[in-house]
Structure 1
Amino acid sequence: MPEAVSAPDVRATIGASEFDRDTAVVRRAPGVYDTDLSAGWTIINAVNGGYLLAVLGRALADALPHPDPFTVSAHYLTASRPGPAVVRTETVRTGRTLSTGQASLVQYDDDGEEVERIRVLASYGDLAGLPDDVRTAAKPPELPPLEHCLGPDDGPAPIEGGSAITDRLLLKLDPATLGWALGQPSGKGEMRAWFGLADGRDADPLSLLLAVDALPPTAFELGLSGWVPTVELTVHVRCRPAPGPLRVAITTRNLAGGFLEEDAEVWDSADRLVAQSRQLARVRLG
């Protein structure tokens, strides 16, 4: 078990937090939801892909008969920007244990033309109904205690232009994966961190969709810099997380042709693997 870490003095609760407010959707008609993408979840001017996934995930949780995301696959078509957006959902199939739906998020350009930003296909179920049997060779990442890890306030801003999202997060990075911040990237393509929400809200299945895409890109430790936009992201939610901070480990084994994969694991305070993901991202070379 990891060492206990101190919690914020004031803790937000699930359903009454900044994350819940900023991922809220309002049903306009069956399958159609209005939302407002918050500038608080941006990196430079781009809305974070995990935050976007949580917005669409919340709409699908309302539209489908099952409450929890089991697997969510998203294709990021154009860069989202803060402001009004519309989510359209469609139920593909419903069954006793799983239901499948698709969703797309659209915004309007300066000429009033509709632009699709992201499209998702997802299967939902009830995590509370899963059996307790676990047979796994996976092991939690080895991280120093939270107080020995480093956050955005412990050094210079890692991305020119600022990252508003860092103010929303409790993010403490393993110093072993911070060579890039000192101009000495390891070349290993690894990133590990303690993760939580800054207001103390505990994790739930929707916030796991954010957690897999909230760390600095592994490209930084490969010696690259700049924006690393997501092309496709698939998340598997394995169980409902226990209260307390999460541990996130991300690795990249292959960068080729200007694209890399990021494989993420998310572990909770009870040493359970609660989410996994793989994404394909584009990097700027040269």
Structure 2
Amino acid sequence: MTTATATDSEFDQAIALEPDPGAPGRHLGELGAGWQIGGGVNGGLLLAVAANALRQELPEHPDPLSISGYYLAPSTPGPVSVRTETVRRGRSLATATASLYQDDAQGAPMEKLRVLASYGELAALTGEVRTSAAPPELPPVQECVGMEHAPPALIEQAALLERFDLRLDPATVGWALGQPANVGRIQGWFKLADGREPDPLALLLVADALPPVTFDLGMPGWAPTIELTVHLRAVPAAGWLRVSHATRNLAGGYFEEDCEIWDSAGRLVAQSRQLARAPRAQG
């Protein structure tokens, strides 16, 4: 497969923004239909759109180190605007906010996502690593389950899966056959389908890219994100990413989903936690 460049990658086109010359700190873009899941555009993609606006506002601090998004309402394909505000700009770290808007049925701007983030430069961080974490043990890529084997109903409600080259660990896809493991874990190998290599903004998408872990609990259906926080630890190396999503607690109709993303060099490059609403009972 030919690797997509930043100019022709579907992901880069999806997060592309232009400054609004009439409103400093405001950026304009278009959300594409190919990034939908369930009732709206994927939360990780929306976080990457907001993060791109902040990157443009903070050129000396190009990378999100910690970014949290609160999802106020579903976003849909169509025009989008992002308003940014720099809270503090230091030598090695900047803090800023971003709000993503789309027009409502009456044409009035409606806030869909609010973000608070700390930005720095991942490439400038020290190489010291002290960790007890280990990458998930996965079968080789060729022995994992690709999206061509996914149930048609899943693809119908998750168009964005066609943007991914996702190979799931066979031990975590029993739900696709009506036999969930009830462990609360889904993991596998990840690449963008057009070959575009990972970078910090793409990691924000990856953090919300796998099917909801509630599938493994026998709960199919859309699980809308309430809040998503991603910590980025390093610039990822080119190649396949190992991604693991897990939950330990579902209560009161909500669950947490913890994600780890490991690059081809065996480094933990991103961690995330989100709070999501459990899928509604079918039938």
Give the alignment's TM-score, normalised by structure 2.
0.96
* Separation in structure 1 between the aligned mates of residue 198 and residue 68 of structure 2, nearest angstrom: 20
* Separation in structure 2 between the aligned mates of residue 166 and residue 81 of structure 1, nearest angstrom: 17
**SS of residue matched to 2:50:** helix
Q: In percent, how many aligned pairs have the same letter?
A: 56
**SS of residue matched to 1:56:** helix
**SS of residue matched to 1:72:** strand
Please state how far the C-alpha of 1:111 moved relative to its aligned partner.
Answer: 1.0
1:56 to 50, 55, 58: 50
* Separation in structure 1 between the aligned mates of residue 105 and residue 217 of structure 2, nearest angstrom: 37
Please state how far the C-alpha of 1:171 moved relative to its aligned partner.
Answer: 0.6
2:265 to 240, 263, 270: 270
Alignment match, 2:218: 223
**8 A contact 2:101–2:111 mirrored in 1:** yes
* Separation in structure 2 between the aligned mates of residue 285 and residue 39 of structure 1, nearest angstrom: 24
1:25 to 7, 14, 17: 17
* Separation in structure 2 between the aligned mates of residue 217 and residue 158 of structure 1, nearest angstrom: 14
**SS of residue matched to 1:215:** coil
Please state how far the C-alpha of 1:162 moved relative to its aligned partner.
Answer: 3.4
* Separation in structure 2 between the aligned mates of residue 161 and residue 14 of structure 1, nearest angstrom: 28
Is 1:183 matched with 2:192? no
Alignment match, 1:78: 73
**8 A contact 1:44–1:160 mirrored in 2:** no
* Separation in structure 2 between the aligned mates of residue 15 and residue 127 of structure 1, nearest angstrom: 22
* Separation in structure 2 between the aligned mates of residue 13 and residue 82 of structure 1, nearest angstrom: 24
Please state how far the C-alpha of 1:267 moved relative to its aligned partner.
Answer: 0.1
1:226/1:219 CA distance change after superposition, 3 Å: same
* Separation in structure 2 between the aligned mates of residue 111 and residue 159 of structure 1, nearest angstrom: 32
Q: Which runs of 5+ in 1 are unaligned?
A: 1-7
Runs of 4+ aligned residues of structure 1 deviating over 4 Å after TM superposition are: none
Alignment match, 1:246: 241
* Separation in structure 2 between the aligned mates of residue 156 and residue 53 of structure 1, nearest angstrom: 27
Please state how far the C-alpha of 1:166 moved relative to its aligned partner.
Answer: 1.2
* Separation in structure 1 between the aligned mates of residue 119 and residue 53 of structure 2, nearest angstrom: 12
Alignment match, 2:101: 106
1:97 to 78, 82, 92: 92
* Separation in structure 2 between the aligned mates of residue 285 and residue 41 of structure 1, nearest angstrom: 22
Please state how far the C-alpha of 1:16 moved relative to its aligned partner.
Answer: 3.8
1:74-101 Cα shifts (integer Å, max 9, x gaps) = 0000000000011000000011110010
1:164-219 Cα shifts (integer Å, max 9, x gaps) = 10111111111111011000111100010111110101100000000010000000
Counterpart amino acid of residue 61 in structure 1: R
Q: Which runs of 5+ in 2 are unaligned?
A: none
**8 A contact 2:41–2:76 mirrored in 1:** yes
**8 A contact 2:155–2:161 mirrored in 1:** no
**SS of residue matched to 1:159:** helix
Counterpart amino acid of residue 23 in structure 1: I
* Separation in structure 1 between the aligned mates of residue 113 and residue 38 of structure 2, nearest angstrom: 19
Counterpart amino acid of residue 34 in structure 1: L
Counterpart amino acid of residue 45 in structure 2: Y
